Amino acid sequence: MNNSFKSLLFVPAKDKMLAKIPSMNANAYIIDLEDSIPEEEKEEALCRTVRFIDGLSSASCIIVRINSNHAGKELSELYRYSDIGFMLPKYEIKNPYDEYKDLLQGHYTIALIETPSALVNLCDITKKDYLNALAFGAEDYTAKVNMENKVDYLYFQKSLIVTYAKANNLQVFDTPSFKLDNEADFEREVKDAVSLGFDGKMAISPKHIQFINDSFNYNDLDYIRSVISRYEASDNAVVVIDGKVYEKMHINRFKRILKENS
């Protein structure tokens, strides 16, 4: 699986919604078997997902969000599809996922951090060898804490998740925005996610995809190349270019950006 994605769109495991995937422009699609599916429909949703993956002819990146209480059954059905990834919701130290780590091996796997318990155990969580990424689920987290889901109140939590992910070479994705009718607030959330160091952002609305893609993809790559060239042509460790100070760590970051966008 190509895991250089910036936008990850949740898609409920319903035939009408799944059929739209090939026509949308997200980098990855999270087929949801969990929150968007009533308990009585879980089994049929799994069957729909299997049928969809069997019939998929496009190169869409597919990640399936499974249910923690149905993890064994769902992973047993889906692990044979080597090109799909998995999202593990309500991830905590004491969870059923370790039991199925053999089924997860070789699949791109995201742990969804949604509880205070998960937040305070990030040191141990990020050492799990079958995980490739973390993602923040702010709706569940803030409901659990009984706080407002507002970006101003979540800088600590987001920074902590990013720090532990980066320290352990994991990718990290920001929570989806529920600001469906407030474009300014949504755009601020995305810009904050970029500034905090997230690798991408999840979404629940196709309308959010293009802005997420544009925000996480550096548009002025030619200028970045110019800065690298001008820095490396200098004999100094610290160089002022266009009024801004650049050191080796800045140049290394720019080189990573070029690699990610090549």
pLDDT tens sequence across 16-66: 999 999 999 999 999 999 999 999 999 999 999 999 999 987 667 999 999
Place of tokens 């080189």: 255
Sign of CA dihedral 255, 61, 78, 69: positive
Q: What is the mean pLDDT of the chain?
A: 93
Global pTM value: 0.87
**Site of tokens 């780590």:** 101
**Does 126 score more than 80 pLDDT?**
yes
- In the chain the domains, ranked by start, together with CATH numbers, are 7-216 (3.20.20.60), 221-260 (no CATH)
Helices and strands per DSSP (H, E), number in the chain: 12, 10
Cα–Cα–Cα angle for 134, 138, 139, nearest 5°? 130
Q: Please write the tens of the pLDDT for every residue from 211-249.
A: 999 898 776 788 889 889 898 899 889 889 888 888 999
Mean pLDDT of 158-170: 97
Taking residues 186-209, what's their average pLDDT? 96
